[in-house]
Amino acid sequence: MPKAPALVGKLAETLMGRRARVLRTERIAPDFLELEFRADPPAGGWQPGHEVQVRATPTQGRRYNVRTVDAPDRITVLAVLHGDGPGARWLQSLHPGTETTLLASRYVSMRLTGTHRLLIGDGSALGTLDAYATAGRHPSTVVIEAPSASVDRLRGRWPHYRFVPAFADDPGAMTRAWLDETLRREDLADVDGALLLGHAQSIQGQRQALVGAAILDRNAITTRPYWATGKTGL
């Protein structure tokens, strides 16, 4: 959730900015907004999982990831509406026809290992994890901790993913409970790679559990925190 002086943000927009027009917005669940953009592609073209940044305010940027690429210049982004943070306000200000700027450079994939992967995240990572799970050639177990009001709708759309309800005052607790029970039953014996995204403190605990249970070594686990307890909201 980067902050930068307005002049730095404007320079980044000049160097990396891609003209974009909102084609569609859809509230797919109470806490999730999917947006379709027609956007000028960066060098190498858009890819599922492509990181984009927006200037939610002149001094505050927010990062999202492309979920699908439907044409060379048509992409979708799925975002969680987390509280009343700058990103949530910016997202809800968009409507079909809105002109905006997305910041993106050439696509760089996250490092993934293994042929049966465990993908874990919270609502902020759903679009990213879906992009990697869908694009991958190998089977993945996908576990998402999402706001409880959205869980049923998300399960209906992604029945092959496991959704667990989140506690607002204890992020990561339900995912950790699922992980501990699954490790106890030895149901992850065939997992040989993991991608952990979202809440920083939860990621740390998940990685420790996987390494401590001798399921994976640290080199087989890729992590990327999107937010942390005590930091400015999304």
The CATH number that applies at residue 184 is 3.40.50.80
CATH number for the domain harbouring residue 10: 2.40.30.10
The answer to whether residues 96 and 124 belong to one domain is: no
Model pLDDT for residues 21-56, shown as the tens digit of each residue: 999 999 999 999 999 999 999 999 999 999 999 999
Q: What is the DSSP letter of 123?
A: G
Which residue range(s) make up the domain with 169? 117-227
What's the number of domains the chain is made of? 2
The answer to whether residues 65 and 166 belong to one domain is: no
Q: Which CA distances in Å does 161 have to 58, 77, 136? A: 37, 19, 15
Place of tokens 């160097």: 15
Please name the amino acid found at residue 196: L
The answer to whether residues 158 and 195 belong to one domain is: yes
pLDDT the model gives residue 14? 81
Answer whether residue 10 shows pLDDT above 90.
no
Whether residue 152 is contained in a domain is answered as: yes
pLDDT the model gives residue 48? 96
Selection from 173, 171, 217, 216 nearest residue 198 by Cα:
171
The answer to whether residues 39 and 15 belong to one domain is: yes
Examine the fold and report which residue of 42, 75, 103 is the final residue of a domain before the chain moves on: 103
The answer to whether residues 54 and 129 belong to one domain is: no
Answer whether residue 233 shows pLDDT above 80.
no
The answer to whether residues 85 and 126 belong to one domain is: no
Cα Dmax for the chain: 54
**What residues does 35 pair with on adjacent strands?**
25, 77
Q: What share of the chain is helix, strand, coil (3-state, %, to 5)?
A: 30, 35, 35
Answer whether residue 58 shows pLDDT above 90.
no
The answer to whether residues 22 and 97 belong to one domain is: yes
Q: Give one DSSP letter per residue of 3-57, joined into a string.
A: B--HHHHHHHHHHHEEEEEEEEEEEEETTEEEEEEEE---TT---TT-EEEEEEE
pLDDT the model gives residue 232? 60
Least confident interval from 6-20, 146-160, 184-198: 6-20
Share of the chain above pLDDT 90, in %: 82
Model pLDDT for residues 80-125, shown as the tens digit of each residue: 997 788 899 999 999 999 999 999 999 999 999 999 999 999 999 9
The answer to whether residues 48 and 26 belong to one domain is: yes
pLDDT the model gives residue 1? 46
